[in-house]
Structure formats: C-alpha cells, structure tokens
Structure 1
Amino acid sequence: MAEAHTVHSVDRRLGGTRLAGLVTDLAGARPGYRALAQAVRTLLLDGRVPLHTRLPAERELATALGVSRATVTAAYDLLRDGGFARSRRGASTWTELPEGRRPASVAAFPVGDGVIDLAVAAPPAPAAELSAALAAAAARLPEHAPTAGYHPYGLPELRAAVADRFTRRGLPTLPDQILITTGAQHAISLALALLGRPGDRALVENPSYPNALDAIRRAGMRATPVPVTDAGWDTALVESTLRQAAPRIAYLVPDFQNPTGALMGREQRVRILETARATGTWLLVDETIADIALDVPPPAPFASLAPHGVAEQVVTVGSLSKSHWGGLRIGWVRAGSRLITELAMARVPSDMATPVIEQLVALHLLEGMDEVLRARITSLRASREALAAALTRHVPEWRWQLPPGGLSLWVDLGAPVASGLARAALARGVRIEGGSRFGADPGTHEHRLRIPYTLPPDQCELAATRLAAALSSDLAAPAGAPLPGDWVA
C-alpha cells in the first residue's frame, strides 16, 4: 500500500514541489488540466490537503509538474467553478469545499460539527472514573518526579497490575512478562518489527483490523489471508494454511473478532496452537476486545490453552482503549520475559517510554476495572439493541449476525455498494468505512459495512436514518470502487 502523505493544517501554504509530490497519475492524461483538477479534488476530499490552504502560484506549480502554465490556469479555473477553490483578484488561490461536501479523513474536520462517526468503534470515557483516576495519578506523581521518568518496560506497579489481571483470567503471569506500550497498535507494530522481516509471510484473517493489516504491509510482510465468515473460522483451512505457507507470524483476533464479532471456540484454539507448534509460527493474538463480552462469559486468554513448549510462541497484546478510553494511550504485550526484554530494547529508538502520568491513570483504572466493565456492558447491550432495531426498521433488506460481544455489527448490504454508500453517507453527516477497508485482499467485502454500536441509542437511530437516506440516493461511487483508505479504530 502506498504511504499516505498528509499536509498538516498548520502549514497554510502548499509549495509547488510539495503538491507535485502528492499529485500522481498525470502522465499521459488528456486533457491534462482536467486530470490535475481531479487530482487536487481527490487530495482535498481525502483530507491530505486541508481546507483553506493557499495553493502554489500557477507558474511555480507548472514548473514543478513540468507542464505549461496554461494547464495549471485551466485546472485552477475548474477547481473554482466546482467550488473546490476560491481566489481574490490579484491574490492567491485557496482550497475550499462546495456546500454539502466533506473531506473523508476524520482529521480534516472537527469533532462536534454534526457528523456521526461510525468509523471509530470505541466508546467514550467513563467520565467519573477517569476524573477520579486522574486525581489519584496527580497525587502519586510527586513520588516519580525525582526520577528521570523513563521506563521502557513500563512502571513496575502497572506491569504487576496487568500481570495480575492475566493471572486472574486464567493465565499465570509474572510482571517481567509484561511490556507497557503506547496503545495496542504500538504493541502490534513493535512485535511485527521484531519478529518479522520483509518478505516473510503473515497469516491474517480476512476481514481483519485495518490498522494491523496496514502495519503488516508497512513491515514488508506478505499477507496470507484465511476467511472469517458469519460462521467463524474454518479451523481445517487455518491449519492447512499454517502447514503449507509456514508463515513467520499469524495475527489473530479470536475474541469478538474485529469486524465480524465472531468468538473462536476452545477446540479451535487448541488445534491452532498445536499446528503453530509444528510450523514454528509466532501467534500474535490481539485481545483488545476480549473484555467486551455481552452475552457470554469473558473468554480466558488464548495463551492459557497453550500446551507445554508453545506458550513462548504466543505474543498477546491488549489495551484500555475499548474497555475504558482510546484517548488514554495505554497498551501492553504479554510474552516470554526474554522477548519482553528484546521488545523493550527495540522500542527505545522510536518511543523511549509511555508517559508516567498516563500509566498512573491506568493503574488506578485497572483497580476498578470490573465495575467499569459492568456499566459499559449494560450500556453497549442497550445500544446494540437500539442499532439492530433501527436498522431493521429503516433498511430491512440488510442482514447481520448478532455478535456475542465486541463493539459492532458486520452488516451484509446484499449488493457491492459499500464504497458508494459511504460517500453518500458522508454528505448526510455519517462517516463510515466500506467493508473493503477491512479486507486483506483489495476489493473484497464491498457488500459489507462495519457499524459500531458504541453511540447512545438515540444516535444509533439517527445514524440508521441517515444511512437509509444515503442508500436511497444516487450512490456516488460505482460498485467495486473503494474509498481511499482512511484510519479506523
């Protein structure tokens, strides 16, 4: 996947060389001015060029692109005519959006502008508990102020608390088997960088968590997908893929899989562990959503079923993002103590340590985690019921399996229209990613949407109403044309 370049909003002037580097696929395009205008429109709608940014002077951009000034002049005219740029006589040209249009990137427009964000499957913070945790952390901070404040492994007391939670869930764990990270995504990226090499195969579920898939691609690894359907995993296929492809790493989300919500059975886990022992594959197990058990008892850690000799091959990652708050960037890795040491050494060049204040907040939250989860699960059940009922009323032709846990529905639209629907929904105040964003293979799952139920019930109703209105409109994107990849959670 090509790396997405983003021009930050603090840079209010876009130089010609910089814009030329963002514009692609102009070679041989005729007429050139239309291709250039379309490229700038795409950058603007993707959020890679922010609103109200001054575009390069015509002569400057023409030189950078190696085209005539007349081509740039005509392209700017098209942008102005379409409402994507504005100019004052004798002054510069600035980016703009036509009325009713929004950029696709969540970073390109502010929270609180009326947009319902369904691209992020994460609940808001438990406000009272977060405030109490912050006060408790502030009281303890003077104990740490005399130190340098760098803890590459994490605060000892937080490592002990995370280890204790694993132990109480059925996986005996020592503090030196825990590394505190800056979120689960950081943990995943660290593990991939240490355990994998460019060109290695990585078994992945299809569909799967987009940010993990992106991390695998950026590590230069080759994804080997196995399907996860409404019925869950085909264990025999996973086993045969492990044996035939002999992947270096297998990235799995066995607990309320993201995005399908499927829960892997105990026997399936045991069989995969035994096969991984035979192939020598590292199992990178994402348990970020494991605590969100709505209709079943919380599952035991995947590694708790590992037979003797395999436990060292299981690397478990988790975080407080789904159980508490994504704004608190606290995650962890649970692995063998030797691997934890290697991971801690590997993190220092790019991320020396997780902030002490956030670790102290997390420590306090972990102490009252069971109470927070009880309230959170009750709230999520109500929102899940409200979303399912609203979708049944407004789009009765859509189908889904009600998941036993997790944070979202994996909805079958009945036709490959997800990308066009996502574009139309954005114009109606709903940001959502089409199913192809979750695909391990390009273009797959175009008939699916992941719809979170992390919003209050009334917002679930409003979201369903807007999605139904978008579905009844003339969908802007043709079938099979996915939206540009945006970040999701």
Structure 2
Amino acid sequence: MLPDRGLSGPHLARLLGSWRSSGPAYLALARAVRLLVLDGRLPLRTRLPGERELAEALGVSRTTATAAYAALRDEGFLASRRGSGSWTRLPADVGVAADVAPYAEDVIDLSCAACAAPEGALHAALVAASAELPRHLPGPGYDAAGLPTLRAAIAGHLTGRGLPTSPEQVLVTAGALHAFTLLLRVLAGPGDRVVTEHPTYPAALDAVRAMGARPVPVSMLPGGWDLDMLEATMRQAAPRLVYVIPDHQNPTGLTMPVGDRERIVALARASRTPLIVDETIAGLHLDGGTPPPPVATFDPDGETAITVGSMSKTFWAGMRIGWIRANPALVRRLAAARAALDICSPVLEQLVAVSLLAEADDVLVRQRAGARSRRDAFLAALSVHLPEWRIDPPAGGLSLWAELDAPRSTALAAVADRFGLRLAAGPRFGVDGAFERYVRLPFSLPEPVLEDAALRLAVAWRAVSESAPVSAEPPAALVV
C-alpha cells in the first residue's frame, strides 16, 4: 500500500532527537527510527525523506542513511518502490491486540476509564426527573433534537465554560460515541479519510472503520500535538474530517495549549475541513488553575469546530446522554438523519441530565477531587512496584499512559488475565499494531483496588519480561 503522506528530513531529525549511541551509526539510526514506529510517533505509511536529504539533516554520510534504510527494510519496518520512495510499515509478526474474552467477577478491570456515579447527586436528580416526567407524558416522547429544556441546559453549561451557546446549536445524543457516529454518517462516507490523533480513543477508530472510511493517524509528540504534521497531512491526504480530543487526550491525558487550539481551528478553516472536538473528559482537569477555553471559542458559530460532549465520563457512564454543538443548519441535518439510528434519546434520562447539569459545578468539584486522589495513589503504587516504567502524570482525564521498558504490551495484556487483571494493550489505541511499548491504566477504581492492581501488574510484567511459565491461577496472596 502506497504512503499517505511524506516527511521532510528536518522534521524526521526533530522526531529522532538524540539518536546516536555506541556502535555503528547506521544501526543506531535504524534502531531510533524503529522505536518511533513502534511507539506510534511515526505513523505507518509515512514516506520518509530520501537518503541524501536525511543524511544532510542529520549531519551523517549518505552511506549511513542508506545502510539504516536497508536494515529497516530487512526487519520489515520499511517498504520501498522505485519512484515512490520508502515508507514505514510493520513486520507481519507484529499484530494488533486481540479482543478480550469475558472475565470473572473478581478480576480488576483496568480496561474501562469511567467514574462511578457521584454519591447522592444521581439519586436526587432521578427524584426530580420522576416528578417532572408526568408533564411530558401527554406528548409522544419523540424529539429528534432533544428536549428543549435539556438543550437549554446544555447551552447554559457550555456558556458557563466560556463558550456562548444557544439551544438551537445543540443536538442531544445517546452519548459521545453516538454523536461521533452520527457526524460520520452525515459528513463522511465510504472511502473518505478521517484524520485522528495517534494514539486515540479506540471506539472512534472503530466507528470510522465501520463507516467504511479510513483513519489517517497523526502522531502525538511527547508533550503535545504535532500541528506541523497535522498541517502536512491535511494538505496531502485531503481528509473529510479531523477528530481531536483536546481535554484531556485519551489515552495520554495531555491538554492542548491555547495557542494550539487557535491554530488547529485556523488550519481546519483554511482547508474547509470540519473539525470534530471531543470534550467528553473536559470537566476532569486535575491540577488546579483555570482550564484553557474550549476549542470552539475560536469558531463560536460552529461553522468549522463541531463540539461533541457527554455526561458519561464526568457524571456516570450508565446514563447515555451526550450532545453535539454546531451551527443550527447542521444541527437540523443531524436531527433529520438521526431517525436511521435511534430516533431520539429517552425522556427520563434527559430529565435526569437537566437536574444534574443544574448542579454541575458542585458535582464536578467532587469528581475531580476523587480522580486526583486516585491518580496520585496509583502513581505512588506504580512507582514502588514498577519503577522502570515511565509515566508522566496526566493533567486531566481518567487514565495513565504508561511506557514500558520493552515492546510487549499485547503479551502483558494476555498474561495479566491469569493474575486477575483486565488490560487494554497499547495497540488497541493505534492503527496497524503501533504502541507495543505502551499500556493505558485507568485510575477510576477505588484506591485500595488500584494499589492491588499495581502489585498484580508488577508480577505479570515480570512473567512477561522473563518469559517464565505462568500458572493458570494467581498467587494466593493476590486473590481478591
């Protein structure tokens, strides 16, 4: 398969950083490029610069660059064709993490990043919604755009976050994934390209593929977004949509700086590409201070920046209420197209959402405090049991993106089951088997459970690292 986009010599040199090490230079260069591919920082099907261009950018001989490319081709990390150059790929034996089978009830599930319902608040909201429900019973209960009272409540919630919004700009959905699927149905189609971050939310990749569209990944940098690569990809791949998670990126937990928010809207506007902004985790900033303004503040009419939100991560995943914020014309198109999916959202759940949003400030303060405490406890336990793993504390969200000291994430996920853990391996968050050096670790469970999980992870990782036989049952001391 031919490459999706190209990379200049200076850009690849920046990604490589301090790549030199002991031994032959060509082997060190090949090793550094291989690591970029395995980590997902260098997307697959990316055309690399020519040997002469790379040699000039790195200050090495052309012979070194040629030998490095040859080594990468021999290992299966590079493909070449006369007239098309060389582009990144993965060897045939590097696979995508397999689906996980059902687990026993006593397994610690670290595959799901979602909070428990806020204590007391959901019960009170349910009581209020039940009292309000009789007023809606005489009607049919169908409203494709959502109850007017909930659209107004969502508009008020977004306005309170610094994004002035009218109810006409809001469409109520059955969660953020439903919102994204509906946008794909209306704005994209089979064969279209959809640019995503890399890594990103796995269900979003699944939704793109289910539509027959093709995800085009743009790698995240260690500290944020590679907007130069995004600009080049938008220019070369001509995508139909761009999908980003600026607050707080799933799975890395990174938060997009204000300047990058303004620039990404400008890039999307200049190329006339709709920008879908997933704010599902926007309320969970954990380190204090004033969070950055919503991306759509740089496009308040919603002509380019289309915001997707949800109550699943910040309130409770069991309540499937989400929304789309866009210009009113697109909202009407989406409402008309919705009938082929689910017609409308349940009235009672919408009324519960109205009550919860009225108390959103107080509820989110408590949710953030709980998430912050769990994050810190999990980090402390992991630093004791797995000090060799690299984990940067996330500024927000519900999960850690842990860098392993060997590319064996899929093996770890397979072995962890035997120690009573359910994990989502790193490749689940990427395209074509990337991120074998990473694993996502949610911190949404109670602190004692997370501390137990850290110990089980350490035992499972030792089994994987040492390639030792693993018993079918977890050690007695680890049984829940």
Return the TM-score normalized by structure 1. 0.73
Paired residue for 1:290, among 282, 290, 295? 282
Q: Which residue of 2 aligns with 1:52?
A: none
Amino acid at match of 1:468: A
Contact 1:420 1:477 in 2 (8 A): no
Aligned partner of 1:442 among 412, 425, 432: 432
Alpha-carbon shift at residue 442 of structure 1 (Å): 1.2
Cα deviation digits, residues 261-318 of structure 1 (max 9, x gap): 11111111111111111211110110001110111423321110238xx840211101
Aligned equivalent of 1:453, options 443, 454, 457: 443
Shift of 1:126: 1.1
User: Which amino acid is the alignment partner of residue 461 of structure 2?
Assistant: L
Q: Residue 146 of structure 2 corresponds to which residue in structure 1?
A: 154
- Give deviations 1:57-92, integer Å, cap 9, x for gaps: xxxxxxxxxxxxxxxxxxxxxxxxxxxxxxxxxxxx
Report the counterpart of residue 110 of structure 2 in structure 1. Answer: 118
SS at match of 2:424: coil
Query: Does 2:458 match 1:465?
Result: no
Once residues 427 and 369 of structure 1 are traced to their aligned partners in structure 2, the CA distance between those partners, rounded to angstroms, is 40
Compute the displacement of 1:381 (Å). 1.0
Query: Which residue among 217, 223, 232 is the counterpart of 2:215?
Result: 223
Cα RMSD, aligned residues only: 1.8
SS of equivalent to 2:329: helix
Q: Name 1:301's counterpart in structure 2.
A: 294
Which whole-Å CA distance do the structure 2 matches of 1:297 and 1:452 have between them? 24
In structure 2, give the amino acid aligned to 1:304.
T
Q: Deviations over 1:172-191 (max 9, x none)?
A: 11101100001111000000
SS state of the match for residue 329, structure 1?
Answer: coil
Task: After TM superposition, give the deviation of residue 127 of structure 1 in Å.
Answer: 3.1
Q: Is the 8 A contact 1:202 1:224 kept in 2?
A: yes
1:14-413 alignment, distance < 5 Å: 105=100, 108-109=102-103, 113-295=105-287, 296-306=289-299, 311-413=302-404
- Per-residue displacement from partner, 1:181-203 (whole Å, max 9, x unpaired)? 01111000000110001111111
Partner of 1:199: helix, strand, or coil?
coil
- Is the 1:423–1:475 Cα contact (8 Å) retained in structure 2? no
Which residue number corresponds to residue 428 of structure 1?
Answer: 419
CA contact (8 A) 1:158 1:360 kept: yes
1:383-432 per-position Cα deviation (integer Å, ceiling 9, x unaligned): 11110010000011000111111111100001111111111111111111
CA contact under 8 A between 2:144 and 2:335: conserved in structure 1?
A: yes
Given that 1:261 and 1:410 are in contact with CA atoms closer than 8 Å, whether structure 2 keeps it comes out as: yes
CA contact (8 A) 2:302 2:325 kept: no
Gap runs ≥5 in structure 2? 1-97, 469-480
Q: 1:474 deviation in Å?
A: 4.5
Alignment check: 8 A CA contact 1:228 1:260 kept: no
Write out per-residue CA displacement over residues 213-241 of structure 1, whole angstroms, 9 at most, x where no aligned residue. Answer: 11011111121111113211112111121
| Whole-angstrom distance in 2 between the partners of 1:245 and 1:164 | 37
Q: 1:86 corresponds to which residue?
A: none
Task: Give secondary structure in 2 for the equivalent of 1:473.
Answer: helix
**Can you list the C-alpha shifts for 1:351-398, whole angstroms capped at 9, x where unaligned?**
011000000111100011111111111111111111001000001100
Q: Which amino acid aligns with 1:299?
A: P
* In 2: Cα distance, 1:291 partner to 1:385 partner: 18
Amino acid at match of 1:365: L
In structure 2, C-alpha distance between the alignment counterparts of 1:474 and 1:461, rounded to whole Å = 20
Mapped contact 2:412–2:464 kept (Cα < 8 A): no
Where 1:171 maps in the other structure, the secondary structure is coil
Residue matched to 2:36 = none
Q: Per the alignment, do residues 279 and 457 of structure 1 end up closer, same or farther by CA in structure 2, a change over 3 Å counting?
A: same
Question: After superposition, what is the alpha-carbon deviation per residue over 1:312-332, rounded to whole angstroms, capped at 9, x for unaligned?
Answer: 021110100011000000000
Residue 104 of structure 1, CA deviation: 6.1
Aligned to 1:127, the other structure's residue is in SS state: coil
Mind listing any 5+ residue stretches in structure 1 that lack a counterpart? 1-102, 479-489
Kept in 2, the 8 Å contact 1:424–1:476? The answer is: no
- Which runs of structure 1 show a deviation greater than 6 angstroms over 4 or more consecutive aligned residues? 475-478
Contact 2:257–2:292 (8 Å) recurs in 1: no
Aligned-pair CA distance for 1:475:
6.9
For residues 378 and 476 of structure 1, the distance between their equivalents in structure 2, rounded to whole angstroms, comes to 38
Counterpart-to-counterpart distance in 1, 2:133 and 2:188: 37
Q: SS of the residue aligned with 2:293?
A: coil
